[in-house]
Amino acid sequence: MRIYQEGNRLVIAEGKSAVWIEPWGANSLRVRMSAVPQMDANDWALTEKMEDITPQIAFEEIDVTDPWYRGEAYAKYHQRAKQARITNGKITAKVSHEGWISYYNQRGELLTEEYWRTRDRINRYCVPLRVVARELRPLQGGSDFELTARFEAFDDEKIFGMGQYQEKNLNKKGAVLELAHRNSQASVPFMVSSRGYGFFWNNPAVGTATFGTNKTEWHARSTKKLDYFITAGDTPAEIEAQYSLATGRTPMMPEYGLGYWQCKLRYRTQDELLAVAREHKRRGLPMDAIVIDFFHWTMQGDFKFEPLDWPDPEAMVRELKELGIETVVSVWPTVDERSENFGRMSDMGYLVNADRGNQNHMTWMGNTVFYDATHPGAQKYVWERCRENYYRYGIRCFWLDEAEPEYGPYDFDNYRYYAGPALQCTNTYPVGYAKGFYDGLRAEGETDIMSLVRCAWAGSQKYGVLTWSGDIYSSFRAMREQLQAGLNMGIAGIPWWISGR
């Protein structure tokens, strides 16, 4: 094993594998590990440009004695070894001569450390379990890996964040969380610890996070590298600020977004919607936005009004604006095989593919396929259809539904995106979905941008998403669960959030 400095980076190298530890914003470090010679270049959510920081990197030589050898062998295994540390403001990573990493704050207090149950020549104990803290296990016959990262557990630790899960506990200590999106579940893998650090699992692969009493474990079913961000601070606010600097800050919400939104399932016609808006205003009731929900369209994937029920959307939007009401239109990522856009999108590679079986991803109200929101061309194509059929009438706020996307069933091992196999990157889908509309609206000169979205991942916040909690059940139990879900979404860096029905 070799431990050495490479520019501003501390490197732990052994065989073909390498671990990079480097500063990533104030009081923060990014840690990556590859099991092949070339580190995967995907930055996933850590795409914000960070200031160049020169960390303090120091090395120390120590005596290493292996007590299991005696006589001549003892002298042979009594040698000098190197250990190192890298400090960036309030956080220090110490690397033992065995390559084990532990993290400390500016007062020298332990924040967290890796979980190893193997031989330790310094402390003179041997654990025969052979459990390592960083494990990239090759998937047979391919170039991808199953990843497990393990950290020590602390009895006094409380863990908050991680996104939106339908359960009752605000504190996630003791929880096992699926790292995958489903209708009403949004996995946003950033946590804030009561021990004074924040941790972001920068990996959109399907997996699990386990905050056990014996260890903390992060797992990805298929990936190319280990990648995480860890930050230290004196307050949760400081930790959140450092995390949002790395993944993107949330813009200011438009004024109308803070007002009263009128919505139901569903307004079937233009006349019905206008009658409700007019009556509200006649009675002096507030209304800042009104939502035109699903199946106002001709066909899923056409991205336009059904002219029989919505004959003059331009006049409708104009009247609503005169009443002080913003029009919000629902968009689904589903493309029906009968849609006028299906052939073109299929030819251009703008649809999600299935590795086996038929290509239908959802069969509710038609055989449909999701468009590939990880594909820049597909993002632009869908926005262009919405610009032609909605934006030009004055509609500037969109309800981006089905944003997980809601596969039926959630066979993640069967789907493939422009960005790679769904097992490796599906959690970025809602980010690309929101980005396509954000970029399109910005290109049109809009500045107060907001999209109502049914799911989010790290980085979604910078695209002006107002996340809602999905199709939850109407019960007191569900209402209780939404309280912690909303709080933990905010802690995970998605501050604009509302509860579903």
Q: Which residues are catalytic?
A: 401, 404, 471
Q: Are 433 and 333 in contact (CB under 8 A)?
A: yes
Interacting residues of 267 by C-beta distance below 8 A, sequence separation 6+: 273, 276, 292, 293, 296
Beta-bridge mates of residue 410: none
Rg (the chain; Cα; Å):
26
Q: How far apart are CA 134 and CA 310, in angstroms?
A: 57
DSSP state, residue 254:
P
φ, ψ at 353 (rounded to 5°): -100, 155
63 residue type, one letter: D
Distance of CA 282 to the CA centre of its chain: 44
**Which contacts of 356-364 are long-range, i.e. CB under 8 A and separated by 24 or more positions?**
356/414, 357/414, 361/334, 361/405, 361/407, 361/408, 361/415, 362/334, 362/402, 362/405, 362/406, 362/407, 362/408, 363/408, 364/408
Q: Are 54 and 61 in contact (CB under 8 A)?
A: no
Beta strand ranges found along 366-492 (DSSP E): 368-370, 397-400, 415-417, 420-421, 451-453, 465-468
Beta-bridge mates of residue 89: none
